[in-house]
Amino acid sequence: MVKRKKGRPRKRLRPENDPVVQKLNQMFPPDFLEKTAKETGAFKRERKVKPVAMFWVLVLGFGVTLERSLSSLKRRYEAEVAEELSSSSWYDRFTPEFREFLRRCVLHGIEVQAQQPGRLLKERLQGFKDLVIQDSTVIRLHKSLMRKWPATRTSTVAAGVKVSTVVSAIADGPHTVRLMGERVAEVKTLRIGPWVRDRIMLLDLGFFKYGVFDHIQENGGYFVSRLMNGANPLIVGVNRKWRGRSVPVVGEHLKDVLPRLKRKVLDLEVEVEFKRRKYNGKRSQAKQRFRLVAVYNDEEKKYHSYLTNIGVDKLEAEEIALLYRARWEIELTFKELKSRYRLDLIPSAKPEVVEAFIWIGILTLLCSRRIFIMVRSVNPEKASRFTHLRWANTFAENAYRLMSAMIESNDIEFSIWTLMDVYQSQAIDPNVNRERLMEDWVA
């Protein structure tokens, strides 16, 4: 047998020199966290609860465990910082000002992520700045919050908050995040403006509205949407011609000709009518032309139809249908937030605590994706094999180690001798008069 050579022992890095720790400290610098904490009024006096330490305990200690209470977070903070806290100094910290602190941290993290792109659009999407996906997910809440966030179906669920998210393919993470009531219509969560220029938006049927598509086009943006079942646009042109005696379609409405066609792929120009947004109290009637792509699905025995304004010179019909599948990206993001960062397990009945926990879950996702991008960049030949959900499991399992390193890197010292005080404060039952099972028998 050949003896295996002993490898050189790996030199242990100080936390502040670790590349992962450096990456997160660059994303959320201690100076930024302390300044924002004071500006928002979340931390008026630091004393025992330190903004930087609390931030990393929440972000790397809340979303990755089954511990879903303020008391468990308090114990985690005390263990990491080795400092005993009074209940009031911890519970009273979750205020509207603290919620605003976390919200600003999310906005800052999104901005940093956008400036340091994690992926590049491939050759087929050259000429576009980004591929963005808009959708929402609903989080069920305590029934006492039904007045603030009433659910859509009150007979089964009392309260729910909608997390409206735009995911960027370039940043490989959230582009915008907004919280609103569950009853707010999907189309009202969409904010179209100059930011959409040269970007492709993949929209769910909940956003299907000709006025929305027209507004995106006015701002220089692009969209791809499934065609709503009730839509019946007028065909005004054909982008792909077929050999032989094909069924004439120009001048017909889509539903009138679709059952008679045997083509695998349709690539058409269609005209639609709609009412524009109100101006001076009036809504004018408008017409607009879009591109319609229909691909026949052999399993379902029907066409899957898509509406877009992306030109034939940019993407072929089959590529439009393939591109729409990328909408699954946002479903995976929501699944990651709910299955790994427990965004759908918020037991609190206080609105400010609920919103704080939601922002913490988003912050955990941002940190996870920041490191994910770094890990994938050092393994370019295997980049496609790093999947988000598998990565989320790995990140969650090692988050406690990273949390300790982040706290240590910010000069928050941990002394093993003070840990005894923490054990004594946490392990003792606060109910002085409660009867204990063995109290009469053993001392």
Q: Once rounded to an integer, what is the mean pLDDT over residues 109-129?
A: 83
Q: Is residue 359 part of a domain?
A: yes
CA-based nearest residue to 293, from 313, 274, 312, 273 = 312
| Range picked from 88-92, 212-216, 278-282, 353-357 for highest mean pLDDT | 212-216
Note the pTM of the prediction, 2 decimals: 0.80
Look at strands 302-308 and 173-181 and give their pairing.
unpaired
Q: Once rounded to an integer, what is the mean pLDDT over residues 197-218?
A: 93
Mean of pLDDT over the chain:
82
Q: Is residue 338 part of a domain?
A: no
Tokens of 308: 């877009």
Q: Is residue 422 part of a domain?
A: yes
Q: What sign results for the dihedral spanned by CA atoms 28, 29, 30, 31?
A: negative
Report the percentage of the chain scoring pLDDT > 90.
30
Taking a C-beta distance cutoff of 8 angstroms, is the pair 168, 366 a contact?
no
| Buried residues in 288-327 as b, exposed as e (16+ CB within 10 A) | bebbbbbbbeeeeeebebbbbbbeeebbbbeebbebbeeb
Quote the pLDDT of residue 421.
Answer: 46
Q: Once rounded to an integer, what is the mean pLDDT over residues 165-185?
A: 88
Total structural domains within the chain: 1
Between CA 15 and CA 6 the distance in angstroms is: 26
Q: Is residue 305 part of a domain?
A: no
Quote the pLDDT of residue 228.
Answer: 93
Report the half-sphere exposure of 103 (CA within 13 A, side-chain side).
Answer: 18
Quote the pLDDT of residue 377.
Answer: 84
Domain span at 393: 15-112+349-427
Between CA 285 and CA 273 the distance in angstroms is: 7
Question: Band of the pLDDT at 73, cuts 50, 70, 90?
Answer: confident
Residue 364: how many other CB atoms lie within 10 Å: 27
Lowest-pLDDT range, 44-53, 138-147, 210-219, 355-364? 44-53
Q: Is residue 142 part of a domain?
A: no
Question: Band of the pLDDT at 420, cuts 50, 70, 90?
Answer: very low
**What's the longest Cα–Cα distance across the chain?**
98
Quote the pLDDT of residue 197.
Answer: 95
Residue 383: how many other CB atoms lie within 10 Å: 13
- 19-27 vs 96-115: helix axis angle to the nearest 10? 120
Quote the pLDDT of residue 1.
Answer: 40
Quote the pLDDT of residue 226.
Answer: 94
Answer whether residue 209 shows pLDDT above 60: yes
Tokens of 231: 């839509």
Q: Is residue 370 part of a domain?
A: yes
Altogether, the residues listed in the chain come to a count of 443
Quote the pLDDT of residue 12.
Answer: 54
CA-based end-to-end distance of the chain = 60
Residue 15: how many other CB atoms lie within 10 Å: 18
| Residue with token string 């929305």 | 212
CA-based nearest residue to 349, from 180, 184, 158, 165 = 158
Answer whether residue 255 shows pLDDT above 80: yes
Report the Cα 259 to chain-centroid distance in Å.
40
Instruction: Determine the residue type at 426.
Output: Q
What are the pLDDT digits (tens) for 76-118?
A: 777 777 677 777 777 778 889 999 999 999 999 998 888 876 6
Q: Is residue 176 part of a domain?
A: no
Answer whether residue 414 shows pLDDT above 70: no
Q: Is residue 366 part of a domain?
A: yes
Give burial (CB, 10 Å; 0-12/13-18/19+) of 242: middle
Quote the pLDDT of residue 62.
Answer: 72
Quote the pLDDT of residue 2.
Answer: 43
Lowest-pLDDT range, 119-128, 199-208, 337-346? 337-346
What are the pLDDT digits (tens) for 23-72?
A: 999 999 999 999 999 999 988 765 667 888 889 988 888 766 655 577 77
CA-based nearest residue to 43, from 106, 104, 89 = 89
For 140, the enclosing helix (H) or strand (E) is strand 130-141
